[in-house]
Structure 1
Amino acid sequence: MTPDLIPRLIAELALADPRLRKDDDAERRAQSLLWAAALTGVPYDFALRAAREHYRTSPWSVMPADIATRWDTWSRARLARHTDPTPAVDPDRSGAWCRELGATRRAVAAGEVEPTPAAIAEGPPLAVAELVAGIGRTPPTRDGAQYIPAAAGQVLAAFRAVRRAEWTIGCPVPACRARPGDPCTRPSGGRLSTGSHPSRLDAWLVQQATA
């Protein structure tokens, strides 16, 4: 709020609360300077609305801190709902990139533009079963984009087929000796995190080469 608006604000509030009115010229100047310093950046309409809300619950005269505190709380709440959109400038121009981000945030905090919601909040939620089905493969996305390129997906599919095929034979590792169809185990008895020992895959490859 600009200093020239402070006398107008105090005069309007004094219509409801005469205690704010100062008769001495020096006191009025001091009051205006104090309020102007405390309410820097606070829009006039917001200050007036905040003062009215103050008088709804308090019999005490409104002070600059009452208005400034409400403004800070309101601005922080708007920023908490805001997700920075990608600036339109070239990302290699780091200075311009940061300036645009800062300008957008200031505009959101000042109430000049609405907060930008997070993209994840847009669109209907995906079903849990749909998400689980894509684990380790190609997770579904709302925009149709694929997290795993098609070529990489084909390589992974072939790899998974080999991993499943090697279980058709037993494990040759003496400390394991897993039977066909069973996963390999550690000497302690726990299941091997990779599913099978490398020797088991080697044995399967030899079997396929000599078949």
Structure 2
Amino acid sequence: MNRVETAALLAAIGSVDSRVRRQLGDPQAAHALIDTWHEALADIPATTPGGWDIGRAARSYYEQAGDNSARYWAIDPHHVMARWADYRHAAIADHTDPVPPVDPDHEAAWRRALAARRAAVMTGQAPPARARELGAGGPAPALADTLSGVGRRIPPEAAALLAAAGVGRRRHERPEIAAVPCRYDRCRARRGQPCRAPSGRLLRDVHATRKDDYAATLTAPAPQHTGATP
């Protein structure tokens, strides 16, 4: 801030704190007070594009819930400096580095551009660059068909056949699989009985061999009946 901005800040503080107002009422004391505050806050801007306002920062000293400091001591420059440090920390934490407008193959220039943008954020010359969030409207129509197949390794036709065969469902979701016995050596469940673990515990699913045998019954060709034609 320059001296004019510093004097305006102290005048605003004096409007809510009679101790500062009395100092400003004495020309010699006012001159010394402005010098002290300007020297301490010269590198802190009055406002920034990111939302910093030094007037609000000073006023917050008098609005602290549960803190009675303002009743006993007038605000000092270090109180404002502490709030500026908090703002800088929050701003850089909220900042996402945008892609620098330089050739990424020039590593030194790339690093300088990143450092310059971060410095601008921390000094209040530029607001934090926030990463854009995905909107709630979903993907663009041109990408909808492409995205619908991402992550699907099984074609829809094959998935429908597998679903009809009960593949991918557990035993309790497809009781029809019990129509075939289990030929796993350590189970040997009969038709209509659930599969068991070697310990005798009932399984929620069935053994792989039973699944294969059940699937084979669905794909086996229908028996051909031959006979004399009347």
Structure 1 length normalisation: TM-score? 0.53
Contact kept? 1:76, 1:109, Cα under 8 Å: no
Contact kept? 1:108, 1:115, Cα under 8 Å: no
Contact kept? 2:194, 2:203, Cα under 8 Å: yes
Q: What CA distance in whole angstroms lies between the structure 2 residues aligned with 1:86 and 1:181?
A: 63
**1:53 corresponding residue in structure 2:** 60
Q: What CA distance in whole angstroms lies between the structure 2 residues aligned with 1:157 and 1:8?
A: 77
Contact kept? 1:169, 1:181, Cα under 8 Å: yes
CA RMSD of aligned residues (A): 5.0
Pairing 1:12–2:8 present? yes
**Gap change, CA 1:72 and 1:22, over 3 Å in 2:** farther
**2:78 corresponding residue in structure 1:** 65
Query: Partner amino acid for 1:186?
Result: A
Q: What CA distance in whole angstroms lies between the structure 2 residues aligned with 1:209 and 1:91?
A: 63
Q: Which residue of 149, 158, 176 maps to 2:187?
A: 176
Q: How far 1:147 sits from its partner (Å)? A: 6.5
Contact kept? 1:91, 1:97, Cα under 8 Å: no
Higher relative contact order (CA 8 A, sep 6+): 2
Once the two structures are superposed, what CA deviation does each residue of 1:6-42 show, in whole Å capped at 9, x if it has no partner?
A: x334423443225488759999766544334xxx4x3
Identity %: 20
Q: How far 1:146 sits from its partner (Å)? A: 2.8
**1:44 corresponding residue in structure 2:** 46
**Gap change, CA 1:169 and 1:149, over 3 Å in 2:** same
Once the two structures are superposed, what CA deviation does each residue of 1:172-202 show, in whole Å capped at 9, x if it has no partner?
A: 224334466776442231535xx33222234
**2:41 corresponding residue in structure 1:** 35
Instruction: From the CA coordinates, give the structure whose radius of gyration is larger.
Output: 2
Query: Partner amino acid for 1:48?
Result: G
Query: Partner amino acid for 2:82?
Result: T
**Gap change, CA 1:115 and 1:31, over 3 Å in 2:** closer
Q: What CA distance in whole angstroms lies between the structure 2 residues aligned with 1:68 and 1:150?
A: 56
Q: What CA distance in whole angstroms lies between the structure 1 residues aligned with 2:115 and 2:148?
A: 29
Q: What CA distance in whole angstroms lies between the structure 2 residues aligned with 1:98 and 1:157?
A: 56
Q: How far 1:48 sits from its partner (Å)? A: 2.8
SS of corresponding position for 1:171: coil
Q: What CA distance in whole angstroms lies between the structure 2 residues aligned with 1:90 and 1:191?
A: 61
Query: Partner amino acid for 2:4?
Result: R
Structure 2 length normalisation: TM-score? 0.50
Once the two structures are superposed, what CA deviation does each residue of 1:26-72 show, in whole Å capped at 9, x if it has no partner?
A: 99766544334xxx4x3213223312333456243322332233234
Pairing 1:146–2:145 present? no
**Gap change, CA 1:182 and 1:173, over 3 Å in 2:** same
Query: Partner amino acid for 2:79?
Result: D
**2:227 corresponding residue in structure 1:** none
Contact kept? 2:95, 2:128, Cα under 8 Å: no
